[in-house]
Amino acid sequence: MKNNRIVIALCAGILLFSCQETDENVVPNQQQVEEEIVYSDLRFPPMKVNRVTENARMVESEYQAKLYMAEYIVAPGSTEMGRTVLFDNKGSKKLSIDFAPQSKMYGTPDMSYYIDSYRPASSLAPADSRMAIENSLMTWEGATCSELNLYDIGPAPFPVGIVASILGFPSVEAYGADIENLGFMPGAFFNFLAPGGENSILGVTFTFFWIDENGDPVDQNNDGKPDAAFREIYYNDNFNWAVDGSHIDLETVALHENGHGLSQAHFGTLFQKQKGDFQFSPRAVMNAGYTGIQRTIGKTDLAGHCSIWANWPNK
Q: Would you say residue 145 lies in a domain? A: yes
Count of the separate structural domains present in the chain: 1
Per-residue pLDDT tens over the stretch 279-304:
788 899 999 999 999 999 999 999 99
pLDDT score for 131: 98
Q: Would you say residue 179 lies in a domain? A: yes
Per-residue pLDDT tens over the stretch 180-206:
999 999 999 999 999 999 999 999 999
pTM here is 0.87
Work out the mean pLDDT of the chain and round it to a whole number: 85
More confident residue, 20 or 270: 270
Q: Would you say residue 152 lies in a domain? A: yes
Q: Would you say residue 33 lies in a domain? A: yes
Measured distance CA(309)–CA(307) in Å, rounded: 6
Q: Would you say residue 47 lies in a domain? A: yes
Measured distance CA(19)–CA(175) in Å, rounded: 36
Per-residue pLDDT tens over the stretch 61-94:
889 999 999 999 999 988 778 999 998 765 556 6
Q: Would you say residue 136 lies in a domain? A: yes
* Range 271-278 average pLDDT: 64
pLDDT higher than 80, residue 103: no
Residues 6+ apart with CB under 8 A from 185: 119, 164, 169, 234, 235, 236, 237
Calculate the CA 216 to chain-centre distance. 24
Q: Would you say residue 314 lies in a domain? A: no
pLDDT band at 211; cut points 50, 70, 90: very high
Among 164, 111, 118, smallest CA distance to 138 is for 111
| Percent with pLDDT over 70 in the chain | 83
Which residues constitute the domain of residue 247? 5-309
Q: Would you say residue 235 lies in a domain? A: yes
- For the chain, how far is it from start to end, CA to CA, in angstroms? 36
Backbone φ and ψ for 144, nearest 5 degrees, come out as -80, -5
Domain CATH code at residue 80:
3.40.390.10
- Neighbour-count burial of 102, counting CB atoms closer than 10 A to its CB (0-12 exposed, 13-18 middle, 19+ buried): middle
pLDDT score for 274: 59
pLDDT score for 91: 52
Per-residue pLDDT tens over the stretch 132-186:
999 999 999 999 999 999 999 999 989 999 999 999 999 999 999 999 999 999 9
